[in-house]
Structure 1
Amino acid sequence: MVLALSAGLVGGQAAWAAPDPNDPPDQVDVPEVSTLAAPSFQLPFPCGQKWTGNSSNSSAHQSYEIDFNRGSTADADLGDTVVAAAAGTVVISAHQGSTNGYGNLVKIDHGGGWTSYYAHLDTRAVSAGAAVKQGQKIGTVGNTSKPGNNISPHLHYEVREGTGYPSNIRKATFDGVTFGYPTATVTSKNACGTTPANPHTPEEVCGSGYKVIDKAALGSAGTVYLLYNSGNGYNCVATIKATSLGTATATSAYLEVQGKARVTDSGSFTYYAGPVRAAAADKCVRWGGKAGSAVYDSPFEHCG
């Protein structure tokens, strides 16, 4: 069941209109590449997930836009992973403010005049100008919009070819099959034959100034990293998962400075455990972590 509308009515009119693709805010330019066919789009969700889309529930829809939900309650999909429907270059990654009702928007240029839009995101995982692969995480399902426009969490998705909104909106296709307008339930085949990369790095998790000084593989399930910040004398440990990405699984990271109590971050996490930080200038440290059934425990080392 589709639970959310992309926008409500304000004074009997649609609460927002989508921006002109020729001159939207926050957009970076990408050179035009000629192509004779549309990209091979896949459902903008991880492999195997089943989502129900609806093109007619919103008064703001102009053509073939789709709102996606899969949960049985209004907030069930909040925070679910959204991935790129096809490879391309991110040309917008920004909150649209009062400009329109998109809220947190990611727009991807696929070349040949083809673009895809991912709106109302709770979080954005990519920046404008970044190259993305099909199936790469670009954000999470949310309910962001313009001030005063209260909506339930869902993904607003659309594909455009060329310019001249709204006539440039095209019917969505997933795995070569046209979406069954106005409502259909689709199972994602996005990146099913590949292992997606974790969008998070140990440097990002630990923060500015931290550099990797050691690491240990946790089988195929992930890697635990030891980092050091020479500016403040702190060590940091982060465990970055390599499998079951986007699914909460047992993961941990710990750091023990010699002579002090161990600090641990342990639980069921979707992408990483940590950061675990401690002052360790001129001190030996013991560090390690767990992902899946694999565990790493270091001796006291890196003494100084």
Structure 2
Amino acid sequence: MKRSHAVAGSAVLAVAGIATMAMATTATAAPAGATATYNGACGGDYRVVNSVPVTGKGTVYLTYSAKTGKNCVVTVRNSPGTPTYMYTYLGPTDGSSDPVFDSGEYTSYAGPVYLPAKGVCVDWGGTIETVSVSVSGSNCGRMAAGAVTHR
């Protein structure tokens, strides 16, 4: 399920002719210096295999599912709040397919984006506001010290 770009104040739902009022909750800003944690946006079968900080803004997470053989990337803000420009991308280093990306004005994260990547090196990264990071030629299916393999 994709999250909305902005938080609604309230919504009215009609169920079997009975109206129910539901108030949306507002996100609480993280304390100064807090680091974004992976939010599970890629799905239950995906495990974090790499990450890179977006200095002072958040973190980009590269995940992998052994079940599907796909990588997934999501860029997560340290402090959800007012919609701001975010971008996340993932592509094969060898150019065997087009990169996938997501961008827009988001309150907490950009993505997820998925790519079949069993045994394939990937390029990935993200942007929050004007701060961008990228990683090239990583997670090629080989076990690195302390890393999760995805063969």
TM-score by structure 1 length?
Answer: 0.38
The one-letter code sitting in structure 2 at the alignment partner of 1:246 is G
C-alpha deviation, 1:202, in angstroms: 3.4
Quote the residue 1:155 is aligned against: 23
Describe the shift of the 1:78–1:237 C-alpha distance in structure 2 as closer, same or farther (beyond 3 A): closer
Quote the residue 2:114 is aligned against: 277
How do 1:1-304 and structure 2 match up within 5 A? 79-80=8-9, 141-144=10-13, 146-150=15-19, 155=23, 194=31, 202=38, 204-243=40-79, 245-257=80-92, 258=94, 259-304=96-141
> In structure 2, what is the Cα distance between the partners aligned to 1:192 and 1:238?
19
Larger radius of gyration: 1
C-alpha deviation, 1:254, in angstroms: 0.3
Q: Deviations over 1:119-176 (max 9, x none)?
A: xxxxxxxxxxxxxxxxxxxxxx32236531246x6639xxxxxxxxxxxxxxxxxxxx
Describe the shift of the 1:296–1:155 C-alpha distance in structure 2 as closer, same or farther (beyond 3 A): same
C-alpha deviation, 1:207, in angstroms: 0.4
C-alpha deviation, 1:230, in angstroms: 1.0
Q: Deviations over 1:17-69 (max 9, x none)?
A: xxxxxxxxxxxxxxxxxxxxxxxxxxxxxxxxxxxxxxxxxxxxxxxxxxxxx
> In structure 2, what is the Cα distance between the partners aligned to 1:267 and 1:236?
18
Describe the shift of the 1:284–1:193 C-alpha distance in structure 2 as closer, same or farther (beyond 3 A): closer
> In structure 2, what is the Cα distance between the partners aligned to 1:249 and 1:287?
20
The one-letter code sitting in structure 1 at the alignment partner of 2:81 is G
Describe the shift of the 1:79–1:231 C-alpha distance in structure 2 as closer, same or farther (beyond 3 A): same
Number of equivalences:
131
> In structure 2, what is the Cα distance between the partners aligned to 1:208 and 1:193?
24
C-alpha deviation, 1:247, in angstroms: 1.6
Structure 1, unmatched stretches of 5+, are: 1-76, 81-140, 157-189
- Give the root-mean-square deviation of aligned CA atoms: 3.0
C-alpha deviation, 1:219, in angstroms: 1.1
Whether the 8 Å CA contact 1:78–1:154 is kept in 2: the answer is no
Q: Deviations over 1:247-299 (max 9, x none)?
A: 21001110001322111101111110000001000111000001122111111
Describe the shift of the 1:233–1:249 C-alpha distance in structure 2 as closer, same or farther (beyond 3 A): same
Q: How many percent of aligned residue pairs carry the same amino acid?
A: 31
The one-letter code sitting in structure 1 at the alignment partner of 2:91 is E
TM-score by structure 2 length?
Answer: 0.74
Structure in which a larger fraction of residues adopt strand: 2
SS at match of 1:300: strand
Describe the shift of the 1:193–1:229 C-alpha distance in structure 2 as closer, same or farther (beyond 3 A): closer
